[in-house]
């Protein structure tokens, strides 16, 4: 305790305000990396602990969000690496690339993106995998249809139905949030 009764180990009020304002964006960013809401909650808590511990290292002349997102990225990657030991392993370069892309897009994070991430998680594995494969760089409906042994028209219809499910889910999620 300081003579004036304040605790010198606490970060300054402006730092606390930055952390508080960043919570939703950090959560959405983490969710885009770990793809599981419960894991994102856990990673956000861990990232907050690290932010608190590193408060003295924060340079107030620089933007807060990129610094906080980098810490959140490290925490998310640590979780993915830990989980990968129990399942299929991912290349560190791939995990870093995913995190970098998510960070680049996080500035654009809005409630629709957060809702989309949650709705993607709710899709059955087969539909989620189909959507993921369709939007891989270089992917095409014709190539995916050939892989699956179905016509491009049938695959297009599957994609249309899945996209419609996602849209309906997003709209329901946003309506529920608006009422809350």
Per-residue pLDDT tens, the chain, 180 aa: give them.
334 444 445 678 888 888 988 899 899 889 888 888 899 999 999 999 999 999 989 888 888 888 999 999 999 989 988 887 655 555 666 666 776 676 666 545 567 777 887 888 888 888 888 888 887 778 889 999 999 999 999 999 999 999 999 999 999 998 988 787
Question: Do the Cβ atoms of 72 and 43 come closer than 8 Å?
Answer: yes
Helices 13-34, 92-106: axis angle to 10 degrees equals 120
Residue whose tokens read 């998510």: 102
DSSP 62: S
CA distances 108 to 25, 28, 103, Å, are 9, 10, 10
- Asked if the 1-107 domain carries CATH number 1.10.3470, the reply is no
Q: Which CATH architecture has domain 110-180?
A: Orthogonal Bundle (1.10)
For residues 141 and 152, give the distance between their C-alpha atoms in angstroms, rounded to a whole number.
Answer: 6
Per the confidence metrics, is the pTM higher than 0.85? no
């Amino acid at each position: 305790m300081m003579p004036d009764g304040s605790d010198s180990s606490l970060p300054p009020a402006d730092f606390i305000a930055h952390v508080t304002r960043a919570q939703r964006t950090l959560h959405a960013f983490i969710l885009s990396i770990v793809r599981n809401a419960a894991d994102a909650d856990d990673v956000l808590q861990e990232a907050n602990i690290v932010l608190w511990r590193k408060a003295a290292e924060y340079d107030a002349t620089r933007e807060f969000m990129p610094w906080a997102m980098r810490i959140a990225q490290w925490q998310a990657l640590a979780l993915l690496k830990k989980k990968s030991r129990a399942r299929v392993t991912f290349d560190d370069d791939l995990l870093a690339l995913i995190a970098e892309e998510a960070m680049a897009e996080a500035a654009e994070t809005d409630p629709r993106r957060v809702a989309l991430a949650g709705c993607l998680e709710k899709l059955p594995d087969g539909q989620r995998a189909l959507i993921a494969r369709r939007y891989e760089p270089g992917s095409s409906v014709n190539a995916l249809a050939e892989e699956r042994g179905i016509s491009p028209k049938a695959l297009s219809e599957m994609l249309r139905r899945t996209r419609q499910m996602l849209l309906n889910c997003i709209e329901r999620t946003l309506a529920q949030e608006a009422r809350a």
